[in-house]
């Protein structure tokens, strides 16, 4: 009896411990949305964020493939949305009373798009296709979200940017003392996490808050004095504490549609990065916990939870890698751990109105700085040791473009650069399985010694190239270069045979290259012959502008051996 109860109680204790850490990080993200956008109601944001994390945890507890998995609000989409929300609200001169509704509507739309994308991928069984997404683009997108998070909190809350802060009303309430305390706390938290002392992260969060109020009590310092010197925010800055979770698709609050339209690029970018983040997180947790999960099922589950949380105006949420892996390392591997985390989140939802206003702003700001710094460190700086130089260049380029033009432009540029680099790399792989004249590639016909000597003497007249792989503008250039080189020899070949038996596809630019080679051959009085054409490739060639069978065009034959025999007989 005791043996069975021991592990069960341990799992619950571990769940309660990691749940405190999770609740603290979720509260920090909620404060980022408030601080950076003047949404009138910090406690409402905190309640919505905790509700989203609790909802995701409940879904994972119900059907998740990893027993001790817990849910959390995604860091990356929140960081991206902060920039878009601030710019949209400022550009449209949104009144303060409409700010909160507009913010929650944008968050809900992002969750809806992310959830729909994940659910559709899982519904149609496309989970394996996501593995072909370029890793540098995903890493660069996540690193960029870290940059945006650090930028948002330093420029718009602490007012440390060059020029005028976009948030003078908020920054004015905090002093350089808050800045120093925030950076110190962030440095301590970052060090704890980098040293793999994740166990102490929640202790540091709770301990710093308790130590702050212990210091106030020890020296008999009142809260009003702290507000006067800018260490604590004014009560008015925190907004009303009457929590009413908004429903963006049914809530009657005023919404600034000009601001909503201005946020559209950020909403799409946040949804894309949110999907990237979830896919990488799921794969990492699967490896760390040594479990083989049904990816399509997990995608449907996470997508459904996000579609539901979208009605709360909550940001995208997904599997929490840090708490799940930490619980695994502490030996808590049952669903009791996830249930305990869910209970902590629900308790936090009930106590948000009372507890959140008591958390010192420098602790919340420090947590945000830590989350952003971790994203930059993990997905940009450490990738320099893991990725080839060109791939790391893509990561750094995406972060740089994000800083200048925004993350949506950066993601598109990253895909373009990845495509070019892939084409260059793939184009360097030899497209020839075999290539040579009649000395090395002959028909299977048995010849007399005299015929053998004659064919050897005129071997240059027949050039055969057995191709392989996928032909596109990068790889087909190898074929064009070899054809041009053979035609430049004297005398030029009588026939150049292209064997497609091991080619699995052809791109439109490669069809144009075939037409170019046919023209070059015609100018030299040579014939270009294609053999063993798969049905799809033959259809692609026939629908292009290449003349088939006409003088100066492309000849199509069924068998390379038969074509070789015919040209050998002609010799």
Half-sphere exposure (CA, 13 Å, Cβ side) for 378? 19
Query: From CA 317, how far away is CA 321, in angstroms rounded?
Result: 12
DSSP summary character for residue 382: T
219-225 long-range contacts (CB < 8 A, ≥24 apart) are none
Q: Give CA separation, 2 vs 7, 8, 312, in Å.
A: 9, 10, 43
Query: From CA 482, how far away is CA 196, in angstroms rounded?
Result: 55
Write the DSSP assignment of 289-346 as a string of letters. Answer: TT----HHHHHHHHHHHHHHHGGGTPPPEEE-HHHHHHHHHTT--SHHHHHHHHHHHH
Q: Give CA separation, 563 vs 34, 379, 444, 538, 549, in Å.
A: 75, 55, 11, 17, 14
Write the DSSP assignment of 89-158 as a string of letters. Answer: HHHTT--HHHHHHHHHHHHHHHHHHHHHHHHHHHHTT-GGGGGGS-HHHHHHHHHHHHHHHHHHHHHHTS
Cis preceding linkage at 491, omega within 30: yes
- pLDDT value for 252: 44
Query: From CA 428, how far away is CA 436, in angstroms rounded?
Result: 19
Helices vs. strands in the chain: H and E counts, helices first: 24, 7
Contact 36, 152 (CB under 8 A): yes
Query: From CA 390, how far away is CA 339, in angstroms rounded?
Result: 44
- List per-residue pLDDT tens for the chain, 571 residues long: 334 445 677 888 888 888 888 888 888 888 777 665 544 556 777 888 999 999 999 999 998 888 888 899 988 888 888 766 666 565 556 555 566 677 788 888 999 999 999 999 999 888 776 667 788 998 898 898 888 888 877 765 555 543 333 344 444 445 577 778 888 999 998 888 777 666 677 788 888 888 988 988 888 887 777 767 666 655 444 444 444 444 444 344 566 566 667 678 888 888 998 888 888 888 778 777 778 788 889 999 999 999 999 988 889 999 988 788 878 877 778 889 999 999 999 998 888 777 777 788 888 888 888 888 988 998 899 988 888 898 999 999 999 999 888 888 898 999 999 888 887 787 778 899 999 988 888 888 888 888 888 888 888 899 999 999 888 877 888 999 999 999 988 788 999 999 999 998 888 888 888 888 988 998 888 999 999 999 889 888 888 778 887 777 889 998 999 999 898 888 8
Helix (H, G, I), strand (E, B) or coil at 433: strand
Six-digit token string for 238: 């925190």
Query: From CA 55, how far away is CA 61, in angstroms rounded?
Result: 10
What is the spatial order of strands in the sheet that 554-557 belongs to? 432-437, 462-471, 495-506, 527-531, 554-557
Whole-prediction pTM? 0.73
Query: From CA 411, how far away is CA 136, in angstroms rounded?
Result: 10
- pLDDT value for 179: 79
Query: From CA 207, how far away is CA 189, in angstroms rounded?
Result: 12
Contact 513, 477 (CB under 8 A): yes
Residue for token digits 């110190």?
A: 184
- pLDDT value for 42: 67
Contact 568, 445 (CB under 8 A): yes
Which residues fall within 8 angstroms of residue 208, CB to CB, at 6 or more apart? 185, 360, 363
- pLDDT value for 130: 66
Query: From CA 50, how far away is CA 42, in angstroms rounded?
Result: 12
- pLDDT value for 528: 92
């Amino acid at each position: 009896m005791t043996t069975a109860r021991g592990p069960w109680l341990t799992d619950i204790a571990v769940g309660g411990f990691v749940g405190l850490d999770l609740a603290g990080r979720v509260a920090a993200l909620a404060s980022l949305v408030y601080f950076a956008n003047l949404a009138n109601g910090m406690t409402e944001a905190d309640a919505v964020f905790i509700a989203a994390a609790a909802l995701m945890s409940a879904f994972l507890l119900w059907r998740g493939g990893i027993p001790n998995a817990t849910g959390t609000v995604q860091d990356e989409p929140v960081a991206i949305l902060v920039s878009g929300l601030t710019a949209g609200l400022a550009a449209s001169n949104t009144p303060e009373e409409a700010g909160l509704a507009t913010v929650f509507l944008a968050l809900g739309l992002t969750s809806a798009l992310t959830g729909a994308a994940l659910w559709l991928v899982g519904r149609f069984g496309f989970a394996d296709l996501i593995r072909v997404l370029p890793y540098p683009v995903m890493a660069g997108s996540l690193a960029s979200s870290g940059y945006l998070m650090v930028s948002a909190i330093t420029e718009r809350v602490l007012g440390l940017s060059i020029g005028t802060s976009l948030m003078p009303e908020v920054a004015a309430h905090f002093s350089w003392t808050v800045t120093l305390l925030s950076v110190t706390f962030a440095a301590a938290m970052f060090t704890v996490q980098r040293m793999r002392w994740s166990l102490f992260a929640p202790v540091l969060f709770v301990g710093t808050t308790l130590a702050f109020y212990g210091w106030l009590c020890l020296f008999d310092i009142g809260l009003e004095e702290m507000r006067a010197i800018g260490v604590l925010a004014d009560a008015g800055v925190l907004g009303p504490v009457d929590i009413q979770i908004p429903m963006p698709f049914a809530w009657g609050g005023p919404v600034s549609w000009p601001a909503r339209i201005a946020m559209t690029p950020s909403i799409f970018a946040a949804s894309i990065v949110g999907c990237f983040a979830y896919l990488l997180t799921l794969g990492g947790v699967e490896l760390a916990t040594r479990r083989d999960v049904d990816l399509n099922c997990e995608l449907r589950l996470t997508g459904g939870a996000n579609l539901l949380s979208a009605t709360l105006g909550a940001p995208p949420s997904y599997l929490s890698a840090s708490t799940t892996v930490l619980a695994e390392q502490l030996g808590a591997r049952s669903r009791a751990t996830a249930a305990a985390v869910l209970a902590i989140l629900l308790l936090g939802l009930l106590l948000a109105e009372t507890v959140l206003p008591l958390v010192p702003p420098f602790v919340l700001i420090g947590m945000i700085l830590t989350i952003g710094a971790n994203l930059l460190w993990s997905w940009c700086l450490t990738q320099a040791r893991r990725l080839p130089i060109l791939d790391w260049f893509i990561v750094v380029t995406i972060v740089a473009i994000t800083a200048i033009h925004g993350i949506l432009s950066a993601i598109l540029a990253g895909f373009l650069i990845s495509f070019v680099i892939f084409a260059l790399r793939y184009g360097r792989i030899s497209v020839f399985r075999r290539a040579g004249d009649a000395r090395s590639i002959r028909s299977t016909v048995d010849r007399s010694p005299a015929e053998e000597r004659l064919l050897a003497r005129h071997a240059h007249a027949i050039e055969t190239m057995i191709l392989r792989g996928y032909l596109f503008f990068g790889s087909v250039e190898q074929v064009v270069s070899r054809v041009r080189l053979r035609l430049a020899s004297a005398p030029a070949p009588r026939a150049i045979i292209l064997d497609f038996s091991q080619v699995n596809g052809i791109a439109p630019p490669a069809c144009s290259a075939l037409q170019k080679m046919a023209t070059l051959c015609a100018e030299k009085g040579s014939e270009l012959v294609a053999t063993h054409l798969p049905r799809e490739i033959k259809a692609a060639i026939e629908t292009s502008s290449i003349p088939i069978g006409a003088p100066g065009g492309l000849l199509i034959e069924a068998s390379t051996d038969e074509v070789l025999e015919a040209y050998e007989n002609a010799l």
